[in-house]
Structures are given as structure tokens and as C-alpha cells.
Amino acid sequence: MKQLRFDIADLQAMVAVVERGGFRAAASAINLSQPALSRRIDKLEDALNVRLFERTTRRVAMTVVGREFYIKAQEILANVESSLLSISDIAASSGGEVTIACVPSMAYHYLPPVIKQFNALYPNIRIKVIDEGANEVLNGVLRGEADFGINFIGAQQADIDFEEIMSERFVLACLHDHPLAQRRSVKWREIDKYPYVAVARSSGNRLLLDQALAATDVRPSAVYEVRHVATSLAWVAAGLGIAAVPHLAMPTEHDSPLKAIPLVEPKVERTLGLIRKKGRKLSSSAQHLYDALKNKPPRPFQA
């Protein structure tokens, strides 16, 4: 009996040609040159001793045998993928540790429900969270202290892969009885009339706000300056002033004394994403958690 000498990559090449409608589009889709793709198809046809495609200078068409084998190739690839996922699940459920570096607002509001669901599926995996500021999160990922991170900086870093998961706007945080509390929106230039609590220049959020306001004549004058957004919110709750904070940082409790109002002119947003060091392959456990976080929908804005 003749031994079939082809591999999964050859099957993937054949399926790509069919699904993309030609060699040029298929080569681009699977990141191969056209000659390399043609060699894979030739190898597959030689191994099977059949013609899968009728090729002319103008078009590519499947043969009768090619159409039948295309269905089989899809089944084989689906079975391989299913088997690999099963092995990955077994490895993840057996235990291990995943370390995430994460900005505090995401660690507080975004992570808990995802971690709860993840723990139900993989109870033996230990999860460690490094909840620090944006710069510390980025450096933790770059130094390899964390498997991956959740951050709003890093997209422009050459050695970081950044995958967006959500965008959120900055809002004005004030007490419910503040003069601005009943407004549908507040312009940045209007906040100078009231005591303003800013975060320090070392904060990633402060850098983002300064960059967004640089093209305007708006320069909020801070009466107080603190290092962390959580501290600024505590000071606002104590009646010391107002603050501009990411929406996700706002308390979600119904009895909170704080109100969030959209800031406009300009509208300032930050994009949060999963970050990991370019070229780093995640463990099975870390990849499962990464995927779970990527698929979690964001909390909608409510003023």
C-alpha cells in the first residue's frame, strides 16, 4: 500500500485555494508566496495521485475528485482542531499559575466576573494579579513578570502586541448635590469654576488627558493633586472637589454619593487592551484566560 506523504499544511493550502477562489488570494491569506503554495498543492496531488484542480492562465476550477476531497479535507482539519483544543483543555484543567498585570480600574470592575466564570471551568489554576498603574503594568509585561496585561498604553510599543477589548470615555465625577450633577454633559472649560482634584503627572491617565487637551485652550487648574484615580474619587466623595476619571473607575454601587457626567469639547477616550510581549507564547492556562478576557463585553456607559 502506498504511503501518503502530505501534512496538515498541505490540506490547509488546498482548502484556502477553494475558499479564496484562486492561488493569489489563498497565498495572501495564509502568508505564502504563490510558488510555495503551488508546491504544496503539487505535493498533495502527487501523494494522492489525482488532480485536485484544473489550472489555466485565466482560472482555477476543482475537479470532481477535488470537490470530494475538499469535503474530506475540511473534516480532517476540524477533527485536528478539536483534538488540539481538547488536549489544551486537559493541560489547563490540571493546574498551573497565570500572572496578569492590570490597571486598577479593570482589576476592580472588569476582572472579577470573568475570573469567577474561569475558575468554575479551571478550578486548579492559580491566578495572580499585579494591579498597578499603566507604566508599571507595561514594564511588568516587558520584563516577563506577568504572562500578559490589561492596559491603555502599549499600542505604540514595537515589542508589545496590543489587542483592543474596549474603549471608555472620561467623565466628570462629582457629588449628587453638586451644581453640575444634573447636567447631561459638561464642557472641559466649565470645570475651572470648581475645586479640581487631579492625578499626578506620573500617572498614565494624566498623560493621556494632557495629550488630549494639548490642542485646545483648556487647562484645568488643580487645587489638589494625588497619585491614584481611586484617591481622587475618595476626595470627591469627601466633598473636596470634582475630578475627571475614566468611566470604568466610577463606583457601581447604587448608594454611592458620586455621579458620572460625560465630559465634552473635547470628548476624551482611552482604549483598553490585552498586551503581551511580542513573540511570547502563552501557556495553555494563560491562553485560556486571555481568550476569556478578550470575549468579555464591556460595561455600557450610564450617566
Q: CA 239, CA 101: separation in Å to the nearest integer?
A: 32
Say which DSSP state 300 is in: P
pLDDT digits (tens, 9 = 90+) for 104-116: 989 988 899 899 9
Name 259's bridge partners.
Answer: 174
Is residue 299 within 8 A of residue 109, CB to CB? The reply is: yes
d(CA 109, CA 36): 48
Give dist(CA 248, CA 267) in Å, integer: 16
Residues 241-260, mean pLDDT to the nearest whole number: 91
Q: Taking a C-beta distance cutoff of 8 angstroms, is the pair 270, 170 a contact?
A: yes
Average pLDDT over residues 252-262: 90
CATH number of 169-270: 3.40.190.10
Task: Provide CB contacts within 8 A for 147, sequence distance 6+.
Answer: 98, 99, 100, 276, 282, 283, 286, 290
pLDDT tens, position by position, 14-26 = 888 888 888 888 8
State the DSSP H helix or E strand holding residue 74, giving kind and residue range, or none if neither. Answer: helix 64-93
- Looking at the chain, the whole-number percentage of residues with pLDDT higher than 90 is 46
The three cell numbers of residue 112 are 472579577
Name the residue with higher pLDDT: 25 or 173.
Answer: 173
Fold of 8-92: Arc Repressor Mutant, subunit A (1.10.10)
What's the one-letter identity of residue 1?
Answer: M
Domain boundaries, the chain: 8-92, 95-165+271-294, 169-270
For 103-214, strand residue ranges (E) read 125-131, 148-151, 160-175, 186-187, 197-199
Residue 91: its pLDDT value, please?
55
Distance (Å) of CA 85 to CA 12, 50, 88, 203: 18, 32, 5, 40
pLDDT at position 6 is: 77
Inter-residue contact 229 to 215 (CB < 8 Å) = no
Q: Which grid cell sits at 293?
A: 478576557
Reported as a single tens digit per residue, the pLDDT across 73-113 is 888 888 777 666 665 665 555 568 899 999 998 998 889 98
* Fold equal for 8-92 and 95-165+271-294: no
Let me know: does 210 contact 290? Beta carbons within 8 Å: no
pLDDT higher than threshold 80 for residue 1 = no
Which fold, 95-165+271-294? Answer: D-Maltodextrin-Binding Protein; domain 2 (3.40.190)
Supply the DSSP symbol for 180.
T
| pLDDT tens-digit series, residues 42-73 | 898 888 888 988 887 677 888 888 888 888 88
Query: pLDDT tens across 177-224, in order?
Result: 999 999 999 999 999 899 999 999 888 899 999 999 998 888 888 999
